[in-house]
């Protein structure tokens, strides 16, 4: 299901260690924000409806972005930040999105519902996608990675084709593990909670093992984050020869997943100048 549950330790507020996003958040064109009136959200899986307090909104490539009211400066900052993210990803990726809304609080009811469903404890839902509507939660804001993960749930990818791509990638990543050592790099900061990249056969991260849709979402998150942070998510040290450690991009370890995501989004996601490399 399109829910990303993160361990408590992976709360959205990351005072230290989180790298400054490259360019994307500052390159936003001036936008006119309009006030949003309160309304009730309809997505709650447990049948409860949530109240959206007043906020601000703007339109990015025809997609409505709503930010729930916080201290007014933060509301405007978030509107600019998330708006910048939406403008920074290939426009095609927004084709399946009507609305992105950033709520002020994590939802405790939703958190416990998901924890019960997954047999986990203390998980926090950072984002949720229903159809063409993406909801992001957080008192201090949200992260690019959560946005990228949720965005993936709106991109049409065949689960059957994904299964085949994942199998083909197993051979690539299996070979690398035989020839040397793969290590997590994660754009300069540490992975926390259940986000851990596995760098071995099977799903790309621990959360990706939930089901194939989550593996797709985690794959797009890693691919887009490499562009966003300007850093590869892993490194490779060969056993033989001049054993220099080199940065290794997602597309090198998971070329078949990358090709499928490029096909589905008709975008050059790995930045190599080609689509479906
Ligand atoms: Zn998800």
Instruction: Read off the pLDDT band of 44 (50, 70, 90).
Output: low
Closest CA relative to residue 224, chosen from 57, 114, 92, 49: 92
Residue 271 has which token pair?
């930045």
Average pLDDT over residues 208-220: 95
Nearest CA to 105 out of 79, 78, 125 is that of 125
Please give the distance, rounded to the nearest whole angstrom, from the Cα atom of residue 3 to the centre of ligand 1: 4
Q: Give the distance (Å) from ligand 1 centre to CA of residue 258.
A: 18
In sequence order, what E strands does the chain have?
3-6, 34-36, 39-41, 50-52, 55-60, 63-68, 99-103, 124-130, 133-137, 180-184, 234-238, 246-248
Q: Please give the pLDDT value at position 185.
A: 82
CA–centroid distance, 123 to ligand 1, in Å, is: 13
Nearest CA to 223 out of 172, 151, 158, 170 is that of 151
Find the range with the poorest average confidence among 90-99, 103-112, 183-192, 258-267: 183-192
Encode pLDDT of 98-152 as tens digits.
Answer: 999 999 888 888 888 888 887 888 888 889 898 999 999 987 778 999 999 999 9
Q: How far is the CA of 265 from the centre of ligand 1 (A)?
A: 17
The pTM of this model reads 0.84
Strands 133-137 and 99-103: parallel
Most confident of 18-22, 237-241, 265-269: 265-269
Residues with Cβ within 8 Å of 57's Cβ and at least 6 positions away in sequence, in order, are 33, 34, 35, 36, 64, 65, 66, 67, 79
% of the chain with per-residue pLDDT over 90: 52
Secondary structure (3-state) at 255: helix
Secondary structure of residue 110 in the 3-state scheme: helix
Q: What is the CA(242)–ligand 1 centre distance, in A?
A: 40
Q: How far is the CA of 128 from the centre of ligand 1 (A)?
A: 7
């Amino acid at each position: 299901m399109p829910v990303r549950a993160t361990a408590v330790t992976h709360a959205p507020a990351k005072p230290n260690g989180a790298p400054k996003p490259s360019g994307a958040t500052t390159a936003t064109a001036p936008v006119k924000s309009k006030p949003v009136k309160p309304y009730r959200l309809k997505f709650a899986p447990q049948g409860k409806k949530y109240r959206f307090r007043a906020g601000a909104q703007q339109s990015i490539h025809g997609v409505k972005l709503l930010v729930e009211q916080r201290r007014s400066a933060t509301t405007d900052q978030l509107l600019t930040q998330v708006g910048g993210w939406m403008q920074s990803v290939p426009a095609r990726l927004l084709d399946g999105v009507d609305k992105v809304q950033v709520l002020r609080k994590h939802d405790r009811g939703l958190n416990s519902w998901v924890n019960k469903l997954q047999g986990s404890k203390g998980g926090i839902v950072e984002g949720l996608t229903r159809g063409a509507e993406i909801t992001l939660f957080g008192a201090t804001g949200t992260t690019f990675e959560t946005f990228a993960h949720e965005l993936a749930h709106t991109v049409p990818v065949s689960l059957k084709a994904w299964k085949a791509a994942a199998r083909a990638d197993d051979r690539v990543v299996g070979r690398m593990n035989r020839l040397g050592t793969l290590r997590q790099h994660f754009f300069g900061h540490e992975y926390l909670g259940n986000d851990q990249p596995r760098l071995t056969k099977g799903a790309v991260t621990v959360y990706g093992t939930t089901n194939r849709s989550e593996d797709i979402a985690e794959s797009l998150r890693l691919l887009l984050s490499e562009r966003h942070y300007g850093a590869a998510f892993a490194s490779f040290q060969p056993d033989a020869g001049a054993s220099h450690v080199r940065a290794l991009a997602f597309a090198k370890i998971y070329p078949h997943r990358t090709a499928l995501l490029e096909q589905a989004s008709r975008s050059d996601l790995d930045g190599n100048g080609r689509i479906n490399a």
